[in-house]
Amino acid sequence: MRLLKVATCNLNQWAMDFDFNTNQIKDSISKAKQSGAIIRLGPELEITGYGCEDHFLELDTVNHAWECLKDILLGDWTDDIVCSIGMPIINGSERYNCQVLCLNRKIIMIRPKMWLANDGNYRELRWFTAWKKRDELVDFQLPHEISEALGQRSVPFGYGFVKFRDTAIAAEVCEELFTPSPPHSELALNGVEVFLNASGSHHQLRKLDLRLRAFIGATDTRGGVYMYSNHQGCDGGRLYYDGCASVVVNGDVVAQGSQFSLKDVEVVVAQIDLDVVASLRGSVSSFQEQASCKTKVPSVEVPYSLCQPFNLKTRLSIPLKIKYHSPEEEIAFGPGCWLWDYLRRSGASGFLLPLSGGADSSSVAAIVGCMCQLVVKEIANGDEQVKADAIRIGNYKDGQYPTDSKEFAKRIFYTVFMGSENSSDLTRSRAKVLADEIGSWHLDVSIDAVVSAFLSLFQTLTGKRPRYKVDGGSNAENLSLQNIQARIRMVLAFMLASLLPWVHSKPGFYLVLGSSNVDEGLRGYLTKYDCSSADINPIGSISKQDLRAFLRWAAIHLGYPSLADVEAAPPTAELEPIRSDYSQLDEVDMGMTYEELSVYGRLRKVFRCGPVSMFQNLCYRWSATLTPSQIAEKVKHFFKYYSINRHKMTVLTPSYHAESYSPEDNRFDLRQFLYNARWPYQFRKIDELVGELDVKEVVQEAGDHGAVAAASDVGGMGVAAAGSGNPNVGL
């Protein structure tokens, strides 16, 4: 037996905080060594943090990364343990995203990333160059100060692997695993048994299974040990990196870290027998044949042994049942952990949420409540960092700290119901009950006097006073009256967030939370600079349907039963007067259902459909219940209002990224914001297709009637004639 103990980790790094990140790396190495591991793998670009973005273009960033690596190597951190550490490196005039393999205070190899992530949220080609030389390792001259400190002038740089006396290991960096021809395929044929994947992978609802299947697929037929390390947390932007550090052996997951956690450092350890890898490979004839005629990959030889011999006291890691969270749990824990990171790193003292009693703001309130529960639970589990942060943020004195989530929420969470004459008693009551269940400091404010003051000012200026549509006003009047209410709430929210801590003799300021969902953003069903305009938004990339499912789940599992009533209520903005014969409803206002919006959103973004191809796709999906003309009108209606309102996405509050069809304009969904909303060419093509389909339908009906008549004339033979000889069947 060749026994090998390996350690991989989730690290909650913070972009550009070099001291913090370096200490986290050292802590993870210490934990790995304490466990007896001989290999430690960290996440991609862990020294700098993954989310530095254009800071990667600064020479300072690269220089500081070298200084931090030198600090690690000059200590005893890498003694008797192979460490893979991620950082940016400049070779010649090109900047590379690299994994630096270290052992015993020396660098043994630098592996630059060959295939860069450059879609969706990722822009690696903006900052890095992909390594192109697959057939050689070049000699890289270390920076002078590093060379002097380490007593090492140069190191092998490029694509290759490291051969130890008893095994071979190689890096495969994040995106490379998901390419059509991943490096691990040929590396396995070259004898590599342990693969080290350093990643910077963000959370997205229902995405984890795709990632784990890739690890499993990398080793189930060709054998091997696949180690995966990831960031975990908010490192300064919209993304939450969702950890799940794992070790997979021959297609079996034998170690899995948490997906969501408040821990800054989590080390996942596995004890494995490398002979099972050799045994599997030796039993697969096709593997043997391909290995015999493989393309040779460059390697670096290190005269050092990593494995231990057979030992009865050593317990091998066994296959585990993979842990998956439900989408409802993902919505609770992902944004909850993201909010905690943002809160503790921003210097704020808490959150303020305009709580309307509707589904969206209630979802945000429940997520904050979940965050408070996670904090108290982690403190009870002995996490001193979470405890210290909670004491500082909650302004605890005399050795006190949070032991109850409701008490903690009262210290850090304000909720405000900003009612008007258009608000119902039901929503006011729901907001109050939910606030009590969570424990927030709740306020009930009427904005009618402020609205009236604005209208009086307008009347003084123009001599006219706008009216609601139900009272005989025009569409322009009706819309402006709704927008006044919405924008007053935004201004009041920011004023309260900055002054309420002062009123209650608390230090600092509060962050204003937004609560618009992804479907409303896509359709533009929100007022520009209303309560959707906030500091951050934990649900801005989550669909209404997922939020409603979350509310049903949270009512039970988070202990907020009033959420069941919130979910059951029809969505309404409550910006127009309630009459006996009229009540404002979101889906009526939008002219489409939230379910339809989710379909439009996925077709537009995930399947890259324009108006014409969306119409064609929906004809297949909806033809059983809608005519082509009806489908065409729905598609036109969506694209009309999507394009009219696209400008609102340019000022969308920074939102937690959770959905594949997010319309977020900053980095994920890059499109113009001034459209010809009539879409003349595209809509004309749709009309032409509708006309063609209508003609075919008429001809088909005529053919069917003819077939029925023929059948009645010739008896049983008519059925066969209609099925095989009718010239209209193929139309």
Structure tokens at 166: 């008893």
Structure tokens at 472: 């005989």
The tokens for 123 are 């822009």
Pick the catalytic residue from 258, 299, 349, 356.
Answer: 356
The residues near 180 (Cβ < 8 Å, ≥ 6 apart) are none
What residues contact residue 557 under an 8 Å CB cut-off, 6+ apart? Answer: 328, 329, 332
Query: ∠ CA(203), CA(218), CA(52), 5° rounding?
Result: 35
Burial of 302 (0-12, 13-18, 19+ CB in 10 A): buried
Q: How far is residue 388's CA from residue 377's CA, in Å, rounded to a whole number?
A: 14
- For 336, the enclosing helix (H) or strand (E) is helix 327-346
Residue for token pair 């340019």: 650
From the candidates 9, 31, 33, 44, give the one annotated as an active-site residue: 44
Contact by Cβ (8 Å): 248, 226: yes
| DSSP state for residue 570 in the 8-state scheme | P
Confirm whether 266 is a catalytic residue: no
Pick from 586, 584, 427: nearest CA to 516: 586
In order, the DSSP letters of 91-112 are ETTEEEEEEEEEETTEEEEEEE
In which residue are the tokens 């509310």 written? 551
Strands (E), 312-377: 350-354
**CA–CA distance, 84 with 297 (Å, rounded to integer):** 20
Catalytic residue (one of 52, 68, 174, 244): 174
Q: Residues in the chain, how many?
A: 731
Q: Which among 5, 31, 33, 113 is annotated as catalytic?
A: 113
Q: For residue 264, what are its two tokens?
A: 């800054």
Q: What is the rounded CA–CA span in Å between residue 304 and residue 79?
A: 12
Percent helix, percent strand, percent coil in the chain, to nearest 5: 45, 15, 40
- Residue 312: burial class (beta carbons within 10 Å; 0-12, 13-18, 19+): exposed
Residue 442, by phi and psi: left (phi above 0), alpha (psi -120 to 50) or beta?
Answer: beta
Tokens representing 263 are 């821990």
CA 225 to each of CA 119, 172, 175, 182, 247: distance values in angstroms, whole numbers, following the listed order: 28, 12, 18, 15, 7
SS3 label, residue 59: helix
Tell me the three-class secondary structure of 507-556, residue by residue: CCCEEEECCCCHHHHHHCCCCCCCCCCCCEECCCCCCHHHHHHHHHHHHH
Is position 174 annotated as part of the catalytic site? Answer: yes
B/e letters for 490-516, b = 16+ CB within 10 Å, e = fewer, are: bebbbebbeebbeeeebebbbbbbbbb
Alpha helices in 118-167 (DSSP H): 124-127, 144-150
Residues annotated as catalytic (active site), given as ranges: 44, 113, 174, 356
